[in-house]
Amino acid sequence: MKEDIQKLLDHKPTSSFLVAIDSDGCAFDTMELKQKECFTPNTIKYWNLQAISKYAREACEFVNLYSKWRGANRFPALIKVFDLLSDWDKVKARKVQIPYTPNLRKWIETETKLGNPALEAYCKEHPEQEDMQITLQWSKAVNKTVEDIVKGGLPPFPYVEECLQKCQGNADIMVCSQTPTEALVREWQEQDLAKYVFVICGQEIGTKAEHIKFASENRYEKNHILMIGDAYGDLKAARANNALFFPINPGHEEESWQRLYEEGLDRFFNGTYEGEYEASLIKEFDKYLPETPPWKR
Ligand SMILES: [Mg+2]
């Protein structure tokens, strides 16, 4: 990991522009498959939501795919689903018990590494906490289903490769993601896209904001750095570096990539991206990631 960071710090620009691309849900259409086929069915099974499966599914998809929480860590996202269900009149009418998760809520607030290794260690120390035991079973089952269902070979969205080709020679390109690096490298190599990028950064190398910082600090003008992403976390990573942001709109990824190819990149390279144009894209992006669920509007 230290060597990987050093590699970023040592990166020498070959051009004056830097483009950082998120992977899951941005370059590759993996979010729909993972959320709808892997997360949601296990959430319904392990948390006994069978009687309200229709509402549970809708809440899961809203939180994880079509709201401002898109891309959030799985544990706080799960709690958000429970909170939305508790507050939904149609769910209340079914008189179904929404999972009671006091320890999980506390764990999320106090633990900084919200992942299975920390959860497993915690569960060993607290075998009496039922909600934590179920959380661990659920989380492991999700991983197993992902392994089983998400077989390699998912292609990138249309226009991703065209955009990479257009950047080639004009910008240095990096992958900037919170997926394990090993999986990222495999996916980018399988699709023969790794040849376009100078580095592939996953969760072990730090946050997305750190990736950009390590690779760019004191080497590129701020308005010569563009982050391409599909969630608020990506926008935040760009802003933490005063970099520009191009949104891939959830559910409208193809149009977004086409727009990047046909106008966004040209504007970025000719200096007319910053300001009004970027603001109009982000305003549109906001519409796709609302805070209020459709059943409350
Ligand atoms: Mg993403």
Centre a 10 Å sphere on the Cβ of residue 215 and count the other Cβ atoms it contains. Answer: 26
Burial class (CB in 10 A: 0-12, 13-18, 19+), 184: buried
Tokens 């933490």 locate to 240
Ligand 1 center from residue 62 Cα (angstroms): 15
State pLDDT tens for residues 109-158.
998 778 888 999 999 999 999 999 999 999 999 989 988 998 767 899 99
185-243 per-position pLDDT tens digit: 988 999 999 999 999 998 888 889 999 999 999 999 999 999 999 999 999 999 999 99
Centre of ligand 1 from the C-alpha of residue 296, in Å = 26
Q: How many CB atoms lie within 10 A of CB 291?
A: 9
Question: In the chain, count of helices (H) and strands (E)?
Answer: 16, 5
For the sheet containing 244-247, what is the strand order? 199-201, 171-176, 17-21, 225-229, 244-247
Centre of ligand 1 from the C-alpha of residue 55, in Å:
25
Ligand 1: distance of its center to the CA of 236 in Å?
12
